[in-house]
Amino acid sequence: MRLLRNSPGFRKLPPPMPYSETQRRLLERYFSVVDGPGHADVYLVRNLPQEVAATLNGVYSRSSKSMRDQFLERLEQGLTATGQSLDEFLAKTPASDTLTSVMADKAGQFLKTYAIDHGHNSLREGSIVHLAIERVSQLVTRFIQRERRCTFEESSTRYISFSAETHWRDPDVVAAGGEILAAYDSVLASTFALYRELTVTLLSHLQELRPRQQDEKEGPWLRTLKAEAFDAARYLLLPAIYTKWGMVADARTLSDVITELTSHPLAEFRAVGEKMREQAELALPTLLSYARPNDYLRSQHTMLRRIAGELQLRPEQTAQSHAAEGHVTLLQYDQDLDVRLLASLLYEHCSVPFAAATARVATLTDGQRVQLLDEIMAARGKHDGWPSGLEGGAPFDFEVLLDFGAYRDIGRHRKGFQQQQTLTVEHGFAVPPLVDSAGKGAQYREVLERAAAAQQKVAARFPHAAAYVTPFAFLQRVRIVFEPRQLAYFVELRSGPEGHFSYRKVAIEMFLRMQAVTPLFARYVRVRLGEAFLGRMENEQSADERRQKRMHAAGDA
């Protein structure tokens, strides 16, 4: 029954709180809207210390007041306790550190009580911190960037030459000295020297192999050739080489990452974790209380390795098997996927149980299902995502043998579940075709074979630290689990001709495995098959033209 405004069951909302001129000026500083409408009162919260913002978010469940009114009430309480007025506070300074001094203690106490002691982690998720992390190894970078709840942006091995960078020397290996340190340092020196040489040699080779055409601009042409050269040269890079990246994370996630790092057996991981905690606590002094080493996590690194050895899952003698690069095995999939996905698409728009919808779709012929899906998918544009209902099937579980350099790119698809085995030289290494084409294949193989022998010397004593000196070229076994919608997105993005040839091969192989078992679903995946040489050329040319148009438009404006 619809309640009339004057009926007994109608709950009248309190009128908006009238603000004084001082209150209004304060609110304008921290909120984008002061007097909102009666419905859909949406406003930006800005310039507030993270823990104060998290507190205001948290009290929604405990108060009928708006966030603006909660802010004023708590600020006035804090000012009264210090003998100040709103007018005095407003006259002092707009800096947020003044606000912190007035409100932070109360905010911290609230967060400690509810987020820390009572475990209300949603409050910790309301505080966001942005960290810049520089001059750390690729190894610790890959470990941190497994986290699926963060956002990362990192220096690209495709667009940036790493020839001026330095490497991390593991302190335990340095302390051991002798043959082990000599082996470690020999890999750093030999692979990096060839990397520097190849970045120059391969670019010159490409310029001869593919001279600029008359209708091509020099900038996009040169950028494309450099990207192709760096793509091949990067196989000589090591996980020990320094990189830099930005990270945006909430307090709960950051606390988990710091705990994992500070519980790791490698010294660099622990040092990076401590630095992250030290800097993040400047913004989140309360919410990182539990970000500290964890005995259970520490034990996992040794216990699981020991059990794997007892079960003979780790060979006593390592040997390079030279298995096929980019080999993809489909471990598990939903055998009723083609039926289930169509039922999943229809589920929100019907009123029967999912089992009934699936049973009805199963009665259709293949041709009828194709006709329906053609109608559903026909209007999907070039930049449109897949319908969310296509997540409604069991995931595809793949095992892939690929070079570590390619996994750096694939690992960015954190929506799926991924597991990477310990970096090893057991499976051999990949050889980029461009290296052979430039006449550098023999030198490349010699350097990597010597690197493998040296890596095994380090691994015999320091199995974790040996990962630092396992060149990107060496193949690693990785498990990748994607639900159908994410798999389609991955294949469409990573099979593009502008992508790195190594992960393109993986994306195409995944598609072929998927197509063999779920042909109806595969029908709608826009895979791009075939080889690609200088695949970025068209993109770079069009990007340059778009850039020029934007500059002209900005100038006209």
Which pLDDT tens digit goes with each residue over 79-93?
Answer: 887 788 888 888 775
Per the domain annotation, does 189 fall within a domain? no
Who has greater pLDDT, 215 or 114?
215
Share of the chain above pLDDT 90, in %: 42
Per the domain annotation, does 424 fall within a domain? no
Mean pLDDT of 282-299: 82
**Is 527 strand, coil or helix?**
coil
Q: pLDDT at position 52, please?
A: 78
Per the domain annotation, does 44 fall within a domain? yes
Q: Which of 391, 413, 440 is the last residue of a domain?
A: 391
Contacts of range 175-182, beta carbons closer than 8 Å, 24 or more positions apart: 176/461, 176/462, 179/457, 180/457, 180/458, 180/461, 180/462
95 pLDDT band (50/70/90 cuts)?
very low
Per the domain annotation, does 80 fall within a domain? yes
Mean pLDDT of 212-235: 86
Q: pLDDT at position 316, please?
A: 47
User: Residue 468: what are its φ and ψ, rounded to 5°?
Assistant: -60, -30
Q: Which of 353, 374, 391 is the last residue of a domain?
A: 391
Cα torsion 434, 221, 153, 399: sign: negative
Smallest CA-to-CA distance from 487 within 456, 461, 462, 518 is with 518
Do 135 and 244 meet the contact criterion of CB atoms below 8 Å apart? yes
pLDDT in tens, 411-443: 888 788 899 998 999 999 999 999 999 999 999
**Is 149 strand, coil or helix?**
coil
Calpha distance 269→285 (Å, rounded) = 22
Kindly tell me if the per-residue pLDDT of 195 is higher than 90. Answer: yes
Do 469 and 458 meet the contact criterion of CB atoms below 8 Å apart? yes
Do 157 and 234 meet the contact criterion of CB atoms below 8 Å apart? yes
Per the domain annotation, does 533 fall within a domain? no
State the pTM of this model.
Answer: 0.81
Residue 232: CB atoms within 10 Å:
27
Q: Which of 67, 101, 126 is the last residue of a domain?
A: 126
To the nearest whole number, what is the mean pLDDT of the chain?
A: 83
Question: What is the residue range of 348's domain?
Answer: 334-391
pLDDT in tens, 470-483: 999 999 999 999 99
Q: pLDDT at position 550, please?
A: 47
Per the domain annotation, does 101 fall within a domain? yes
Kindly tell me if the per-residue pLDDT of 124 is higher than 80. Answer: no
Residue 516: CB atoms within 10 Å:
11
pLDDT in tens, 330-348: 999 999 998 998 999 999 9
61 pLDDT band (50/70/90 cuts)?
low
Distances (CA, A) of 519 to 201, 327, 333, 335, 496: 44, 21, 13, 11, 21
Q: What does 286-340 look like in DSSP terms, one character per residue?
A: TTTTT-S--HHHHHHHHHHHHHHHHTT-S-SS-----PPTTEEEEEE--TTHHHH
555 pLDDT band (50/70/90 cuts)?
low
Per the domain annotation, does 63 fall within a domain? yes
Tally of structural domains, the chain: 2
Per the domain annotation, does 384 fall within a domain? yes
Residue 474 contacts by C-beta under 8 Å, 6 or more apart in sequence?
403, 404, 423, 424, 425, 427, 428, 429, 430, 448, 452
